[in-house]
Amino acid sequence: MSITRDNVPLFYPYVSNKTLSILKSRLKTRWIGQGPIVEKFENLFSKIFLKKKKCISTGSGTDALHLAYLLADIKKDDEVITPVFTCTATNIPLLYIGAKIKFCDIEKKTMNICVKSLEKLITKKTKAIVCVHYGGMPCNMDELIEIAKKKNIKIIEDAAHALGAEYKKKIIGNISDFTIFSFQAIKHITTGDGGMLCVKDQGLVEKAKRLRWFGIDRNAKLGGIWENDVHEIGYKYQMNDIAASMGLAGLSDFKKILAKRRDIYSTYLDGLSNNKNLICVHDFDKNKLTAAWLFTILVDKKNFLQDELRKKGIETNQVHFRNDKYSIFKRFCKNYKFPNMDEVENKYLVLPLHNKMTIDDAKYVVRSINNII
């Protein structure tokens, strides 16, 4: 799909021009599964985002979340508080474990987890809080950390949208017990599909590596030693060298990618903030620097606006939906109310934002919206 003035898709994958040459060189070697390029990708990611702390790449962001939940020692019937508004991938791994999900309402200005609502959900059985940086805008991390410390609760950040985001000048990935990122097709950078797990306790890195590969210590096995017991239930969650090659190419362009996304985001914010018929999902908190993965507006005439924009070749959508409406989560939702989610459920609309767009494209979207409502 080409980007033209009458065809502005919602998403478009970013594939670096360097990708093909890196892939060609990799395909000529004997390593296409998990090999040296996976470690090279992890090391470069660590250097850029984590002050050289070790991280663990995975086959998907969902894989990384499942590993985070396991490393946080979440077990069957443990309670985990998580936002009601997120991708189902945030919560489905908790079903693997048999944990009890306690959905939390969102705040309207960011659609992130609502701290006031969260405090009412904590019990003696609460094991962890999962926060999602919706659209790339960081949650109120100081408030979450204060609560977690008082109650001795782990914080797990689902930062699938938030690569490059900052909170109080700290890059997301360096704040909480566990943080995960996604390299799915339409994220900031892509490995086709993939993820990254960041852990504060570096003593957990080797365990995480075992869990992502059937519980096997690969270093011991590669050393030709067959006295290599498996004493943990592991999974097939590793990244491969083909995917990691794409990731390396993406990381080399990341500054350019993020700058472009933030420019488009700012164009929307500047052009739409004065429109009294809509609200931009943005809290104007100077402590936060968005990763600009999504730009979302709230508008009473959401369906009307979406239809009219479609006529102009502008694709919009809701992208994620409230999880309490899905049958697999119904048993966790009895007697719970989510007034903020109820209020915005039929109002939020995500606008196109990707690196194939130009600033003129973003201005075209702004003009179109302002002319329609």
Tell me the pLDDT tens digit for each residue of 151-173.
999 999 999 999 999 999 999 99
Q: Which of 140, 144, 182 is nearest to 161 (CA)?
A: 182
Alpha carbons 221 and 137: distance in angstroms, whole number: 42
The domain 254-372 is classified under which CATH number: 1.10.3720.10, 3.40.1360.10, 3.90.1150.10, 3.30.70.1450? 3.90.1150.10
Residue spans in the chain of domains classed CATH 3.90.1150.10? 254-372
Q: Rounded to two decimals, what is the model's pTM?
A: 0.95
| Per-residue pLDDT tens digits for 202-231 | 999 999 999 999 999 887 776 666 677 888
How far is Cα 274 from Cα 370, in angstroms, rounded to an integer?
Answer: 10
Which CATH entry fits the domain spanning 19-252: 3.40.50.2000, 1.10.3720.10, 3.40.640.10, 3.40.50.620? 3.40.640.10
pLDDT above 70: residue 3? no
Query: Contact 227/258 with Cβ under 8 angstroms?
Result: no
pLDDT at position 229, please? 83
Decide if pLDDT at 2 tops 70.
no
For residue range 95-145, list pLDDT tens digits in order.
999 999 999 999 999 999 999 999 999 999 999 999 999 999 999 999 999
Q: What gap in Å lies between CA 127 and CA 132, rounded to an integer?
A: 17
- Beta strands in 11-65, from DSSP E residues, in sequence order: 55-58
Per-residue tokens: 98: 């048999």
DSSP-based three-state secondary structure for 296: strand
